[in-house]
A = this chain, B = another copy of it.
Amino acid sequence: MNVEVINTGTELLLGNVTNTHLTFLGQELFPLGLRIDRQVCVPDGPAIREALADAFPRADVVLVTGGLGPTSDDLTRDIAAELLGLPLVDDPAILDHLRAYFERIKRPMQPSIARQAQVPRGAAVIDNHHGTAPGLYLPPTALAGGGWSPHVFLLPGPPRELRPMFSKQVAPMLAELLPQEGPRRECRIYRAVGIGESQVEALVGPALTAMDGLEIGYCARIGEVDLRCIGTADLLDRVEAVVLPALGSYLLASGGESLEAAVVRQLRHSGQTLSVAESCTGGLLANRLTNVPGASNVFVAGLTTYTDRAKAALLGVDAGLLAKEGAVSAPVAAAMATGALLATKSHFSLATTGEAGPESGGGRPVGTLFIALAAAGGGEPVVEDYCFPMDRPGFKQRASQLALDLLRRHLQAKA
């Protein structure tokens, strides 16, 4: 099965918006036994026609995103209909849906909206429960005039409309249209923290490359490396027997779980709670933890203290210590962690302080980082120091990664 994705949108190529559709569609297709063989992004305009005409002869499934909306640069529906020689027909049920939608959100319905009720003849309408533009399914019969035979889906561009439409409507259609054949292949991701990509390969590569039928890949990100293994369930059990002992405590749980989800899971398991005291990570630690469903069972509070005064008032950090050591220092990191424990009565606290840049405020070089972990009744906080001069969001990400991993290792050692 050859699956191709065409993302339309000048904003994607100008870099005004990041294409998150590919990520989402790739993840959704794999459990259906389908993989994206090729993805292309073209601007709104005639290039859409070229991309469709390129993909139609090669592909079994073509997923097109964007360009179904009401504005003048929304051209996908018209271009596809024209290329396939299909007239556009008004669909009264869609018009009713559009009118009801605008009544519900209490905004006026502009005349241009009605374009979205046009459907190429022979297409099936896929209702949009989160916006106005319906999706469209063009079966191979609709394309037969051009000598093509893929299943074509035209999907809306906004992620919050596309995602539920794909998961709840398109995925079941694909499962029925293209039932899986042959032994089912699974994808397992092993995520390692605190180790480099080439070290991971040195530890597991020789044993894994010797396994017939196994597909492996490596992907390095800030503060973590993914090892991706695709194969049958039997083969992946043999992989597991190699990977778990070889990567040991570097390894998060399998399944591509995020570091924050691993920490939340460990804390729920042990019935313990966490607070965070953030300076340089500026709320990112709390934000990552609260992205995990169920975080409210373990996360008590986050105190983002961005000034010396806030560190003193909210965390009880001694003003003399701040003056003597500077806010970016090991003693202040420790005092922040201790203060968070006292203020929130949680079992654990993590603290971060550093110079995120672009300019250094406190005399320490940009990239300087201190992280601290305190445990209730656990004596002096553990403090680690690092230096990672990088861009501001990268530094925040790296610092939050190191802090979460410090707690993860602690919980793992106690488990």
Contacts and interface: CB of A to CB of B under 8 A. Distances in A.
Interface string A1-23: 00000000111111111111011
A304 B13 CA distance: 37
Contacts of A282: 286-287, 289-291, 295, 299, 302
A26 B16 contact: yes
Contacts of A301: 303-307, 310, 314
A390 B219 CA distance: 31
Q: How many copies does the complex hold?
A: 2
A381 to B, nearest CB: 20
A12 B26 contact: yes
Contacts of A71: 197-198, 201, 205, 218
Given A304-B302, A314-B314, A219 B37 contact: no
Interface string A35-53: 1111111111001000100
Interface string A183-204: 0000101000000111101100
A108 interface: yes
A22 B19 contact: yes
Nearest to A43: B37
Most chain B CB within a 10 A radius of its CB, from A110, A113, A209, A299:
A110
A329 to B, nearest CB: 17
A393 interface: yes
Contacts of A313: 343-345
A217 B43 CA distance: 10
Interface in A212-266: 216-222, 226, 228, 256
A15 B10 contact: no
B222 A394 contact: no
Contact of A228 (B10, B19, B37): B10
B205 A72 contact: yes
Contacts of A412: none
A197 B30 CA distance: 33
B15 A27 contact: yes
A219 B289 CA distance: 30
Contacts of A217: 10-11, 44, 73
A205 B71 CA distance: 9
Nearest to A196: B107
B300 A307 contact: yes
Interface residues on A, range: 35 or more
A101 to B, nearest CB: 11
Interface in A342-362: 343-345, 356-359, 361
Contacts of A18: 18-20, 22-23
Nearest to A304: B302
Given A16-B256, A72-B205, A293-B392, A41 B39 contact: yes
Nearest to A201: B71
A112 B201 contact: yes
Contacts of A11: 217, 219, 226, 228
Contact of A110 (B30, B201, B309): B201
B291 A396 contact: yes
Interface in A139-162: 158, 160
Nearest to A287: B283
A178 interface: no
A286 to B, nearest CB: 3
Contacts of A201: 70-72, 110, 112
Nearest to A311: B301
Contacts of A286: 278, 282-283, 286-287, 302, 304
Given A256-B16, A361-B296, A69 B285 contact: no
Contacts of A108: 199
12 contacts: A11-B217, A18-B20, A69-B198, A69-B218, A70-B197, A73-B218, A281-B290, A282-B291, A290-B396, A302-B302, A303-B303, A303-B314
